Each structure stands twice: as structure tokens, then as C-alpha cells.
A and B are shown apart, each in its own frame.
Chain A
């Protein structure tokens, strides 16, 4: 039986601002499904976001308290709200450029403190709203507005970064795997302490077009083809992991074991496009 999530949307909002083919709509659906399946008290639900396309996933769409903040600062605002009112369930939804570049310091320190937040990173490998500039998750070699000859810099592996900073739960799934993605969001919300979900969400307009994925389907095929479960990645040599999207769930226990945390490649993006 299909469920309607209309009740979770602000009545006045008629359509999202997302481009055709954007992955963020799927993520919005996943978040609402997670909230619904967990039966969360919406009066005590607060979404915090920064600046960028992903920051628009909760604001204005979701009918709950939403705090749409400044570029990079969402996690710091969320920390203040959660500490001042621990009864709130606080979920940060923002992009990779916002959370990891501008807000990188806030992200790692919130993970270190272990504040009970859920941070969902809609990772499209680029600064979308501001015009397609490279970010810390842009694959090596990818063309962006600021890397016309290909991005020369390695990327952050957000799983390693946030887990290393002290998160209690970290997961990575693409929007092309909506059910495990939604389950990971549910687990993150239920996790006491800091939880982080890295969601690969394709950006046809800024990333796809520049990198010759003229067809939205081709871009989704790329994401789909890059996926490798962490269990499989653990058995492969590092040379086969470069650029793969290693998916799964991780906890501090994995840090202790020291292996199979994530792929050892340059990041979740593909090889030079």
C-alpha cells in the first residue's frame, strides 16, 4: 500500500525548486518516510539547514520547525538548539559544500562533542546553487566552474572524516538505493549521539552537463555503477576501489578494527570524466 506524505508538506508550497533529474527530491521523500515510519512527534521535530540546493530540502517543504541558516553554519545552530532543548529531535539536512567545506570545522567538532544530532549530507559532488564550483567532494579530474581543466585536488571521504571525528553512527547510500538510504536515516535518528548519513545525490545541471552526462539517466547509471557494498570492498585490493562509491554503515567499532572503513580511493565520485 502506498502512503501519502502530503501531510508532511507545508500546504502553501506547491513545487520544489529542484532541477529536473535532481536527486534531492528522492532524499526528501526518504526523510519523510523515515520520520513517518519512526512515528516521530512532529511538534518536537526541528530541521536545520545551511545554504544551497540541499538546504532547501527541509525548508520550506517540510511541515515542522525549520531553521534555514547561513552557509556552512547549520550544525552550529543545531548544536545550540539541541543543547537548549534536548527534547527536540534535531536533523540537519544540507549539502556537501555547505557541511564539509564552509562548515567543515563545525561538522568535525559536533561529531567530536557527540551532540545528539542527525546530519544528512546531500552529496552532489559540487556547489550546485551557486553555479557549479568545485567543492571538497568533487572527484579528481571533474570539470566544474572553477576547475575548467579538471579538478586537481583529492576529495574528502566523508565517512572516514566524520567517523574519525567521533561520530557514533555513519552511513553512505545513494538516492538510487532509496530503501537502505531511508533505513540508514532512521537508524541515524535513533542513534543517541552524533550520526551522519552521506547521501550521493546526482546533480544533472551543474555536475552532469559539465561532465558530459547529457542524459539524466546516464548520470544515474554512473552513480548506480559506482556502488560497491562495504563487505565487498573489504575483500578487494585498494587499486580496485579508486573512485568507487562504497556503501554501508559504520560505527566507532570499525575504527578500532582499522580496516574496511571505506574505499581508499579519491572519493565517492567517479574516475576522471
Chain B
């Protein structure tokens, strides 16, 4: 945020430090409705504070980007140490049923590239997109390449159409903005396709919630992004994400050097979950190993889709999982 405070005004943007995280995400949503691309960043309890307004963003279909640099929780926990315990929170921390998109960077380069992607997805699908980094990536300094030109998704601001309804399942309505003369009616209550509150009509609520879910689920193929390393003949597959995946790749290479048939399926999208990609490991891999900086948040998802053995390894001591630990654990289960 300190960097944004410096750079954003130079690029014609606006930076404001609000009084708390609740206010920050609220201001982001207000700004987004004027047509601006808007984001905020947080970690730990600050992410918990944002949950209420994130539900509002989902329900009012407001594009925005939230960077969560995960740290060791719960509570204040270890404020400056790494954690990975917010994977489920970004999906299920809001009350009610929601589908969101969460990306998982593992390098400085991807903090940049996936930020761009997050904004583009947010604009295209009109929803909050989470950049689920962790402290290890957040505190990384690395050689990275910044591009002269990037592809920017322009918001569909067509006027005259219902801003909250679409005839297609998972359809994304256009989003004219405040000041466009559309007399927009935006509410966090259940609403019809023009924004009028319809809080007592079961079918209106069911239809709205379902369309919002299908916006994500029907596009899972374009949203889910995985990297496959040494999977062709792998008997043991490590499924990993975030900084841990970098250690997992180093471990897999080391294990290959020792003659072990180990590969890595790296999740660059956490939500929607890479169910098909995990299921595709069936019949080839004999077991899946899931190291993560929480106690099985992704391992549990993997178990739903991979029918063989799934062994989780959770480390929540505020340190990254060492390469040697992953090597040791994979050898132990192989």
C-alpha cells in the first residue's frame, strides 16, 4: 500500500488510507461503481473485517480486487510470519453461498501478472477477485519483468439494459456507473434485474444466487489455471500452491535426482477449485501429497476428487515448509 500511495497518484489514480479495513473495502466498492478499477490489500484479522462488504460486492456484482497476504493466524497470531490459513475463508468467509475467484501467486513476477489477471477477471465477471498471496511471497524481492503494455479488460458500461439481470445462466449484465445517467438502484438486499428490492419472493432470490454462482462455475475452464511439472510418469504427485509450491518444485526435482517418480500439480487458481485437473491424476498417480501452511484446507478438496491416497502435510509455525521437509515426507509415504 505504501508503494501504491507513491505511484498511484502519478498514474492519475487516487489513493486513500481509510480508518480501518471495513472502510477500505467499502470505499473500494463505492469507487468501483463510479467506473474506477479499485483494490485494497490486507492480511490477518483485516481480511476477516472485510468479509461483510465482500458479500456485498458479490451480491451487487461489483468488480474489485483484494490482495490478502496470508500470515500465521488465527487472530493477531504471528503478525510478520507466513501462513496459509485463509484459503477457505476467501471462499466461505462471507455468509450465504457464493462463488468467487482466487488466484495464488508464487513469485514477484506473478504478484504483478496475476494482479493484472485479477482485475481483468473482476471486470469481465463483475465480482471480487482475490489475490491470495502469503507473507513469503509478499516479502520477496526478485528479478521481475514489467511490461510496456498490458491487456486491460474494459468494463461493459452499456446503458438501458437491466444492470442486475441476464437471461443466460451465469450471464454477466452490463454495468453502467454512477454519473452515467442511469439512475442506478444498487442494494445489498435481494433485488430484481433493475435493482428493486424483492426480499420476499423465493424465486427471485434463488434465481439471483444461482446466476451469481454460475457466473463462475460455467467459466471454470477459463478460470482454472494449473502448472504441470513432471507429471507424465509420476507415481507420487505433489499438489501445492503459493510459496509452498516453489519448495515443492525444488523437492520434486531433488526426488527425481534420487530416482523417485515425483511430479507437481501447481494450483495457480485456488477458486474455482481445479477439480477436473486433480481428478485427471486418477489412474496414473498412486498417491497425492499436499503440503500447505494450514491443516488440510486444500488437501480436503483434493480428497473429494482424487480417489487414491491423499496425504496432507500441514505446517503452521510461521515458517515456510522447507524443501527438505517435503523431500522427507514424500520419501516416507512412497
Contact = CB atoms under 8 A, between A and B. Distances in A.
Interface of A: 10, 12, 42-44, 46, 48, 59-60, 63-70, 73, 76-85, 87-88, 105-106, 109, 113
Given A83-B16, A88-B179, A106-B19, A60 B34 contact: no
B183 interface: yes
A78 B186 contact: no
12 contacts: A60-B187, A63-B183, A64-B183, A65-B184, A70-B26, A76-B18, A79-B23, A80-B16, A80-B27, A84-B31, A105-B19, A105-B20
Contacts of B194: 12
Interface in B175-233: 178-189, 194-197
Interface in B223-274: none
A80 B20 contact: no
Contacts of A78: 30
Contact of B196 (A60, A76, A109): A60
A81 B23 contact: no
Contacts of A82: 30
A93 B31 CA distance: 18
B142 to A, nearest CB: 32
A43 B181 contact: yes
A76 B31 contact: no
Given A68-B189, A70-B188, A73-B53, A81 B33 contact: yes
B28 interface: yes
Nearest to B34: A85
B52 A70 contact: yes
Contact of B36 (A46, A73, A85): A85
B226 to A, nearest CB: 35
Contacts of A79: 16, 18, 23, 26-27, 30
A10 B186 contact: no
Contacts of B103: none
Interface string B88-115: 0000000000000000000000000000
B29 A80 contact: yes
Nearest to B37: A84
B185 A73 contact: no
A69 B56 contact: yes
Interface of B: 14, 16, 18-20, 22-24, 26-36, 38, 52-53, 56, 178-189, 194-197
A44 B186 CA distance: 16
Contacts of A87: 179
Main SS class of interface, B:
loop
A65 B183 CA distance: 4
A65 to B, nearest CB: 4
A48 B23 CA distance: 14
The 10 closest A-B pairs by CB, nearest first: A80-B27, A80-B30, A76-B26, A84-B31, A77-B30, A85-B34, A81-B30, A76-B23, A80-B31, A68-B187
Contact of A70 (B24, B56, B185, B197): B56
B192 to A, nearest CB: 10
A49 to B, nearest CB: 9
B34 A84 contact: yes
Nearest to B186: A67
Contacts of A77: 26-27, 29-30
Contacts of B32: 80, 84
A60 B197 contact: yes
Given A12-B196, A84-B36, A84-B38, A76 B52 contact: no
Nearest to B16: A83
A270 B267 CA distance: 62
A88 B178 CA distance: 8
Contacts of A66: 183-186
Nearest to B187: A68
Contacts of A85: 34-36, 178-179
Given A68-B187, A79-B23, A84 B30 contact: yes
A83 B196 contact: no
A34 to B, nearest CB: 18
Among A68, A80, A82, A85, chain B packs the most CB atoms within 10 A around the CB of A80
A82 B36 CA distance: 11
B188 A69 contact: yes
Contact of B33 (A42, A67, A70): A67
